[in-house]
Structure 1
Amino acid sequence: MTTSHAKGWLADFLILAAIWGSSFLFMRMAAVELGALPTAAMRVAIAAVFLLPIMLAKGHWAELRRHWKPVLFVGALNSGIPFALYSFAVMHITTGFSSILNATVPLFGAVVAWLWLGDKPSLSRTVGLAIGFGGVVLLAGGQASFKPNASGIAPAWAVLACLAATTCYALSASFTKKHIPSLPPLVTATGSQIGATLALLLPALWWRPDHWPSASVWWSLITVGVLCTGVAYILYFRLIEVAGPARALTVTFLVPVFAIAYGVLFLGETVTAWMLLCGAVILLGTSLSSGLVKLPGR
């Protein structure tokens, strides 16, 4: 990798982590007024409207039309359901807590790939799985209670929602590998947002708010749809192309840093030493389970 490419990769990496870290903040700002399902539906609909003209300008309509069924399905699994679950979660636990749980995606991805695709992990990756899930148990056990908090919902349900979302991400990754041929990334990104929009449309209309959203909510929705979803997809796929998938995956580890900082600065959230310690354990396990870090001699 040349020096200019290395600098470009690092810039994209930091910008993407900062953007994805802010998505938890904007989801919360919208969801507390709109509710989880309308927030998620508007996010993917705005992203689809943003990405579709770009995809058409690139001349990729034929590819999407040929493979629309699996692409739209994976959109519901990879965006629609997880975004709704996270929109619910951030109303009842801190955005920093949610982002740490989101960092477990590679853990669940390794387990699903093992069970579904027969991708048996090495000893180093198995140790990472054990460490990572141990960190999740410690984090969730220390903060998740089935006793309702001030929001009227038990925090444990929000934790389970986050973990269900990460499982959806893991399932969609294996489904994509098995059932979707190699397509231009913009086709998959755009088609998936269209699929997510269609999946969430009726539930969002059913649970729509009884009032017109405020201006701040609209700005949050536009930001999370255009910036945190549409632009972020473009940056992520460019990062894969320039730096490779292994380096691109490490952005997951930096996202909680930004999410926690945004939560403290803009929402007045508190961060405990226990949360940071468990987060470090989860990230260590994730880095081992994804193969980014290996035990000596393994």
Structure 2
Amino acid sequence: MSTISFLRLVCLAAIWGGSFLFMRIAANTFGPAYLIEFRVGFAAMSLLLVALYLKRKLAFGRNLKHFMIIGLLNTALPFMLFAYAAQTLNASTLSVLNSTAAIWGALIGIFWHKTILTAKAGVGMLVGVSGVIVLVGLDAIHLGIGAALPIFASLMAAFSYGIATNYTKTAPKIAAFDNAHGNMWAAVLLILPLLPFIPMRGEPSQYEMLSVIALGVVCTGAAYLLYFKLVADEGAASALSVTFLIPVFGILWGALILDEPIGINTIVGTTMVLSGTMMVTGFSPRQLLHKRQVIEQS
């Protein structure tokens, strides 16, 4: 991985880690539906401006079914579930639960694509699940029964990402930028009918409104552009390593900005979840380093 790609990777992780911070700030006032409608709306408009600049047309109608499926599974549903959970759980917990998407993706792949589960991947799943229990255990104790549904919602959001990952393996071949762009507009349409039934809970402050704008424009629109540039330059496997950096920034931003505590359960649970995810996905920092050395020598 080149130096510029590594810097993009760290920047992307910092941005996506910040998305849980911004959701935590705004969720209780906006409510899940309005928060995510604003998020995907700002993201869709940002990507539209980029598309106009690049003179790139989106064949939305021709690929409507695909965009609606990916918009539901990869954006609308998981975003809504995380927004609901953000009303209760802290940003660090949300970011770590998000990283279980890779474990869910591997588990779903066993049934969907008949993928063979290796012994290492099986152990990784057990380690990852145990890490989730360690991580959320203290939150559950502090918050009581009220933590159960938010924790479950976060895990189901990651589960939805896992379904989306497996779907894209057999989905129509569409350019990465168009997938991001069309997926956002589909999410806008999917969430729109929910607004009358899930109203805003209060009048947002300027601070909360700025958080929502940042969530849409930076953490969604700009982040997608960074991610797809990484995929194009370094490949999907290398870009996947962002998964393991997001919780680091989620915990960091939560502690620095929201004064969220970093307990021993946070450190141990996060380490177990990320270790388990690496085992499941077969990701190895050493292999990435070796790959970079081979490219530099060739």
User: TM-score under structure 1 normalisation?
Assistant: 0.90
Runs of 4+ residues deviating >6 angstroms: none
Are 2:244 and 1:248 equivalent residues in the alignment? no
Match of 1:258 in 2: 249
Post-superposition CA distance 1:157-206 (Å, at most 9, x none): 1111110100010111111222x222111110011111111111121233
What's the % identity of the aligned pairs?
34
Match of 1:268 in 2: 259
Contact 1:71 1:188 in 2 (8 A): yes
Are 2:103 and 1:107 equivalent residues in the alignment? yes
Are 2:152 and 1:160 equivalent residues in the alignment? yes
Please state how far the C-alpha of 1:59 moved relative to its aligned partner: 4.6
Contact 1:21 1:257 in 2 (8 A): yes
Give the Cα separation in 2 of the matches to 1:62 and 1:15: 27
Please state how far the C-alpha of 1:62 moved relative to its aligned partner: 5.3
- The equivalences for 1:168-179 within 5 A come to 168-178=160-170
SS at match of 1:206: coil
Give the Cα separation in 2 of the matches to 1:38 and 1:269: 25
Please state how far the C-alpha of 1:60 moved relative to its aligned partner: 4.2
Give unmatched runs, 5+ long, in structure 2.
286-298
SS at match of 1:25: helix
Match of 2:63 in 1: 67
Please state how far the C-alpha of 1:219 moved relative to its aligned partner: 0.8
SS at match of 1:250: helix
Counterpart residue type for residue 246 of structure 1 = A
Give the Cα separation in 2 of the matches to 1:100 and 1:220: 21
SS at match of 1:205: coil
Aligned residues: 285
Post-superposition CA distance 1:213-253 (Å, at most 9, x none): 32222211110000000000000011111111111111111
Match of 2:289 in 1: none
SS at match of 1:209: coil
- The equivalences for 1:132-281 within 5 A come to 132-145=128-141, 154-178=146-170, 180-209=171-200, 212-281=203-272
Post-superposition CA distance 1:129-157 (Å, at most 9, x none): 22212222333344325x866xxx71121
- Across the aligned residues of Structure 1 and Structure 2, the Cα RMSD in angstroms comes to 1.9
Please state how far the C-alpha of 1:28 moved relative to its aligned partner: 1.4
Give unmatched runs, 5+ long, in structure 1.
none
